[in-house]
Amino acid sequence: MARPPVVSPQRRWREGQAARGFCVNCTKPAAKEAAEFLWPLCTEHLATRRQRLSKRRGPCICPECHEVVEKPRGSRQRVHPACRVKRLKRYIQSPRGKAARIRAAMAYQQRHREAGLCILCPKPSSIHSVLYCPKHAAYYRGPAPQCGECGKPLPEDQRMRGRKYHPACRERRQRMSE
């Protein structure tokens, strides 16, 4: 059975003030033109709320493409979505972005090592290995898988994906099957 929602004392007081027609921030009577807001406000609080909202409203200039960005009310969006993607790509490729990724990876590994998990995935580490789960321990200790076509060892990225052929051998097999 679901429990009824818990109503805080502040919310209960605000609802009582609103029902009696008073401002929810003080004990003054609510202004008539405060209907646009969720809670009734007095003229003083209404003026401060409008002033605060007027600062956030309106267009701004995108720092990337120098065009006008029409942002929704209350939004902090200052850059076009396409410009944001370009910015993010530039950051990722920059030395600071690379350093941040390396720091994050090292923190992940340290956290997992302290918790007794594999440093590459969230599975528990193997009883025979401190760093890796059984899957990764077998991968790093075992012989490199061979390509099914040419017999040469597969590159590391191809092995982790579970591939059986070199990219060139795979393309050759696809062309021959067509």
pLDDT in tens, 33-56: 766 667 788 888 888 877 776 665
Please state the rounded mean pLDDT for residues 115-139.
89
Q: Tell me what the pLDDT averaged over the chain comes to.
A: 80
Please state the rounded mean pLDDT for residues 110-131.
91
Alpha-carbon torsion 151, 153, 155, 159, what sign?
positive
Please state the rounded mean pLDDT for residues 79-102.
86
CA–CA separation, 91 vs 95, rounded Å? 8
Predicted pLDDT of residue 106: 94
Q: Specify the DSSP class assigned to residue 45.
A: H
The better pLDDT of the pair 94, 178 is held by 94
Max CA distance (Å), the chain: 86
Alpha-carbon torsion 128, 133, 135, 139, what sign?
negative
Phi-psi region of 146 (alpha: psi -120 to 50; beta: other; left: phi over 0): beta
Q: What is the chain's alpha carbon radius of gyration, rounded to the nearest angstrom? A: 30
Task: Look at residue 28 and tell me whether its pLDDT is greater than 80.
Answer: yes
Alpha-carbon torsion 143, 146, 152, 153, what sign?
negative
pLDDT above 90 covers a percentage of the chain that reads 18
How do residues 8-23 score in pLDDT, each as one tens digit? 888 888 888 888 888 8
Task: Look at residue 138 and tell me whether its pLDDT is greater than 90.
Answer: no
Give pTM, 2 decimals: 0.40
Look at residues 42, 47, 49 and name the one whose alpha carbon lies nearest to residue 27.
42
Distance, C-alpha 130 to centroid of its chain:
30
Task: Look at residue 73 and tell me whether its pLDDT is greater than 60.
Answer: no
Whether 98 contacts 83, CB under 8 Å: no
Distance, C-alpha 174 to centroid of its chain:
38
Predicted pLDDT of residue 57: 55
The better pLDDT of the pair 102, 143 is held by 102
Predicted pLDDT of residue 111: 92
CA–CA separation, 168 vs 72, rounded Å? 50
